[in-house]
Amino acid sequence: MTRKILIGVAVAAVAVFMLAWAASPILAAKALIKAAKAGDERRIEQLVDFPSLRASLKDELNDELVARMRRDPRVVESGLGGLGMMLAPMLLSGAVDTLVTPEVVANMVTTAEAPDPTRPGDPDPADKRDGNDIHQSWGYRSLNEFAVTLTDRDRPDDHLALILERRGLFDWKLAAVDLQSAPA
């Protein structure tokens, strides 16, 4: 009888551990969204790995900028497209380093829009929303990556995926973004 109780307790403990392990990114994502809606910069700083997020955002924005330049016939025909493609990463890097702050992360979460380095300064107050018109979809990308994909109902073809990465057993931090826009 005692052996059955011990096995039952062990199975229950493993089940609770697995449930907590699987639910931890959801709790972290909800905490990030709640902090963003409340404008709690200190809490956002705790939930974001800013160096990783900046590196990811630089890559994503650089890819988007290069794609825009290739689609613009004026840039291609002028011959300056190559020079622009060489200089763009350097200019973007400096802009992103200064641009990505807790306030900008909060704005990304509530508007489902990545920051635009071509518009320096604070986000337009008219762009600030409470995040209620943003559709959220949640899911694991791997055992150590969890994505919260945000879609503004007014722009259903544009998505912003916030990628949370595991740090230890139960701790998760926003470490990357994935911009998925409809081609223009």
pTM comes to 0.77
Q: Which of 13-22, 110-119, 122-131 has the lowest mean pLDDT?
A: 122-131
Q: Is the pLDDT of residue 127 over 60?
A: no
Contact present, 104 and 115 (Cβ < 8 Å): yes
Q: Where in the chain are the domains?
A: 2-50+99-180
pLDDT at site 17? 94
Q: Which of 8-12, 132-136, 180-184 has the lowest mean pLDDT?
A: 180-184
pLDDT tens, residue by residue, 59-86 = 888 888 777 777 776 655 666 556 666 6
* CATH of 2-50+99-180 among 3.30.2310, 2.60.40, 3.10.450, 2.60.450: 3.10.450
Contact present, 93 and 58 (Cβ < 8 Å): yes
Residues sharing a CB contact under 8 Å with residue 100, sequence separation 6 or more, in sequence order: 50, 53, 54, 57, 115
Sign of CA dihedral 26, 28, 31, 35: negative
